[in-house]
Amino acid sequence: MTPTRTSSTLDLIDLHPGAADLRRLVRAGLMQQPKQLPAWLLYDAEGSRLFAEICQQPEYTLTRTEIRLLEQQAETIAAAVGPGVMVEFGIGNARKVDPLLRALRPSAFIALDISRSALTDALSGLASSHPDTSMLGVCCDHSVLAAMPSHPWLDNQRRIGFFPGSSLGNFSPEAAVELLQRFRHLLAGGPLLLGLDQPRDPRQLEAAYDDAAGISAAFARNLLHRLNRELNGTIDVDQFDYRARWDEREQRIEMALISRIDQSFTLEDQHWSFQANERLITEHSVKYTPAAAADLAARAGWTIRERWHDPADQLSLHLLEPSD
């Protein structure tokens, strides 16, 4: 896709997967057993709006806890990571990077996100509150990004990565190792600040991912609306229930849409069927203890140099540096 340039302090490069990629991924995901789609498909404009609402729900404490920790530790983190341009993987609504930008005052901030609307809203908000930092958005799937695009604000600069929100937990442990290896390559020797929350009371976790107001359920159902919209689908969304369950063995929450009945539908003339009670996994959220996080990082060629955590020690910001 051709890069779209906007202004001199705010710039956007659009590498969003095209319709053919969407078709291929959906077909592959619906042929899996159990059926599962990549978590990034949850984030179209409506998905990003709903995710921002999830972060406000009383049960979903992760965002508030991580923001508080970042605000408290921003100066210490800035001193530990040293100078460089900042690169955030999956910026969402930009609530978390703000204290780091204030403490680090980088010449440029590069935000990657699959959601165009989240990216442009986040960067235009940050550009007005951080006028001395150039803002570059890259709309892409960072799990397959082979190289950072060349750009004068980024080329030959030391890079400091930021990956908060336990987003790594959306990947299986094997895929998480691959992603961390990819980030090591994309950051070209620079450090990575990685935010992960830890396993805890399953009732608390299940409530966090299935809030009483039904926003998490609407977020998952929006995936089906998206398939209907973008693949000319005939899915009866009301015939799916939402469920979030803790899996003790895998140390993860599984979020899924459960078919209420035997049903079938088409997506671009291709037929798909679900049996009653069959599930479509919309995302996983793997939880890592600090020891498990250190093991994962080591497998990907990173060493954890520092860890900052909240008073209850349920969420950690890990500072990773390349092992060699």
- The Cα-based distances of 221 to 57, 109, 259, 285 in angstroms read 18, 33, 12, 17
Closest CB 265 distance from ligand SAM, rounded Å? 25
Closest CB 65 distance from ligand SAM, rounded Å? 11
Q: Which is nearer to ligand SAM, 57 or 263 (CB)?
A: 57
Distance in angstroms (rounded) separating the CA atoms of residues 271 and 217: 25
Closest CB 87 distance from ligand SAM, rounded Å? 12
Q: Which is nearer to ligand SAM, 11 or 46 (CB)?
A: 46
Position among 51, 209, 246, 265 found at the interface with ligand SAM (CB under 6 A): 51
Pairing of strands 134-139, 108-113: parallel
What values do phi and psi take at 211, rounded to 5?
A: -65, 155
The yes or no reply on residue 222 touching ligand SAM (CB under 6 A) is: no
The yes or no reply on residue 87 touching ligand SAM (CB under 6 A) is: no
Reported in sequence order, the residue ranges of 35-79 that DSSP labels E, i.e. its strands, are 35-36
Neighbours of 249 (CB within 10 A): 5
Q: Which is nearer to ligand SAM, 11 or 113 (CB)?
A: 113
The yes or no reply on residue 171 touching ligand SAM (CB under 6 A) is: no
Under DSSP, the state recorded for 168 is G
Region near ligand SAM per CB under 6 A, out of 35-43, 149-157, 239-247, 268-276: 35-43
Distance in angstroms (rounded) separating the CA atoms of residues 113 and 111: 7
274: left (phi over 0), alpha (psi -120 to 50) or beta: beta
The yes or no reply on residue 285 touching ligand SAM (CB under 6 A) is: no
Q: Which is nearer to ligand SAM, 163 or 240 (CB)?
A: 163
Closest CB 252 distance from ligand SAM, rounded Å? 15
Distance in angstroms (rounded) separating the CA atoms of residues 127 and 135: 6
Position among 99, 161, 164, 233 found at the interface with ligand SAM (CB under 6 A): 164
Contact criterion met (CB below 8 Å) for 55 and 93: yes
The yes or no reply on residue 113 touching ligand SAM (CB under 6 A) is: yes
